[in-house]
Structure 1
């Protein structure tokens, strides 16, 4: 009875493999070396960056540096790793998962793996999806970007400005959001991670449709409120993050003005020690 589903799955695996050989992988691995390394996969939009996705590489590099390891260290056998982002669909068999979340718009059939090495996930909705596939997911939740304050020290220390700021999601741009109509300062998430983080931290209230605009603000203790400016982005990743950090529901604003009147969401509750301790140093032999 399982022959037909297995055949369909094998055909999808084959199609993905052929596509990657012809066009290259959907997102190239990093680093690329002639010897086996841990290859991190993270989302890189064509034509521009996105600071939230770039934080995957940043946080992994900083975690490695705590143990004197580099991403270019040679290991016995090549491994794939996923960290920050809604990129679970980019996993292959035996991929190491640390803090990754599912993308709510990617169908079940587009997840081409039967087994994963899961250390932590973004939240319980991602964990439930993995468990529905027969893959064990430890109940260790939280986006690894929440560890930034521990990793960067006083690099971004400074006096915050008074007043709110808006951090849009990339899909808001695609939906034609007119930023000229936003009456408060706006941060462009397509710039470098360090400039975006520094600017977020210079305000005392963050209104964001960018998930990592919210996460960075909350990581550093700045009140933040999710605003849903367009319907382009799935709610899945926001629900996953909030549920994984002790909040029972999303209370989204529908406008900048409503977000200002609502104020910040209740602060996250997350065991950062536990999240940090699930980092897969053992894959590097440590």
Structure 2
């Protein structure tokens, strides 16, 4: 058996954690049933993404894009999905919508008893990190910038060591909630996919109430087909979106120092980002969310029960 991993050119810790999480949750799974692919963390329940010639064991994945797969065929074994919205979309009983498997990372010994060293942290969506100037926006706000394209364990450790998270990255909020770090959701696009966020949030009895933060650059507006200073950009994404993933040292968090703002051009770019700075400042001082302790623990216990059933049937 091997884990499905949607590998993006830019890197994204929420997808990359599939490379090692299942070795902790199901030790030895790689040594059994080589014809089976384990479909775990991610919004990947889409027939275009998943292999058609393999049996698919689904443990906690979510729906969110494109056509929903037909899971009634013999090559599907769906043990649980990310939340009740995915369960309804696939025609499954509501009880199959447990939660995102990433919440179980908080049980890993290497992430326990970590000291708090970051006051407030902002973790954007990978697309915002790719095209925006968020390190420069975070600086006057007093937020530590955390790049979601960094090495997954380093990003997760940073989240666990924060006292407060402002998250545009959904898995930034999921991991914050799992480590009991209060979080505020933001979005830089009014066309955000609310389905996947609400799917997870409802599973742990949290609320998804994102605060809107304007895009920080014209390039970001073009990439997201959003507005920047009243002008809407509907052009195709810049060619940079197909560039290779940025190189980074293994184990390092990609914090990226803010670009130089010297000179008239730099001053102008910083001035143009003023609405982003103000909105992010307001978000960093908003009332945070956190799922009830009992709701999260209940989801985790139900998820453990699913893992037990997988061990009985596959090992």
Deviations along 1:71-110, one digit per CA (max 9) or x if unpaired, are 2x143x611221100001134474211100012x3234xx
Structure 2 equivalent of residue 53 of structure 1: 15
Looking at structure 1, the residues matched to 286 and 200 of structure 2 have their Cα atoms a distance apart, in angstroms, of 20
Structure 2 contact 118–144 (Cα < 8 Å) conserved: no
Contact 2:166 2:184 in 1 (8 A): yes
- Aligned-partner Cα distance in 2 for 1:62–1:186: 29
2:129 counterpart of 1:173: yes
> Which ranges in structure 1 are unaligned for 5 or more consecutive residues?
1-37
User: Matched residue of 1:52: which SS?
Assistant: helix
Write out per-residue CA displacement over residues 158-187 of structure 1, whole angstroms, 9 at most, x where no aligned residue.
32135210011112235x332122232110
* Paired residues for 1:163-242 under 5 Å: 163-174=119-130, 176-179=131-134, 180-183=136-139, 184-231=143-190, 233-242=192-201
| Pair 1:250-2:208 in alignment | yes
Displacement after TM superposition at 1:42 (Å): 2.2
State the partner residue of 1:263. Answer: 287
Where does residue 145 of structure 1 map in the other structure? 102
Cα pair distance change 1:233/1:58, threshold 3 Å: farther
Which shows bigger deviation, 183-192 or 111-120?
A: 111-120
| Partner-residue secondary structure (3-state), 1:166 | strand
Distance 1:146 1:49 in 2: 20
2:302: which partner in 1? 274
Contact 2:177/2:290 (<8 A) preserved: no
Match of 1:34 in 2: none
CA contact (8 A) 1:171 1:233 kept: no
TM-score, length of structure 1 as denominator length: 0.74
Count of paired positions: 233
**RMSD of aligned alpha carbons:** 2.2
Q: Is the 8 A contact 2:105 2:111 kept in 1?
A: no
The answer to whether the 8 A contact 2:111-2:160 is kept is: no
Partner of 1:4: none
Aligned residue number for residue 45 of structure 2: 88
Give ranges in structure 2 of 5+ residues lacking alignment: 213-278
Mapped to 2, the partners of 1:149 and 1:94 lie a distance apart of 29
Which residue matches 1:21?
none
Within a 5 Å distance, the mapping from 1:64-83 to structure 2 comes to 64-65=26-27, 69-71=28-30, 73-75=31-33, 78-83=35-40
| CA 177–79 in structure 1, closer or farther in 2 if over 3 Å, else same | same
TM-score normalised according to structure 2 size: 0.67
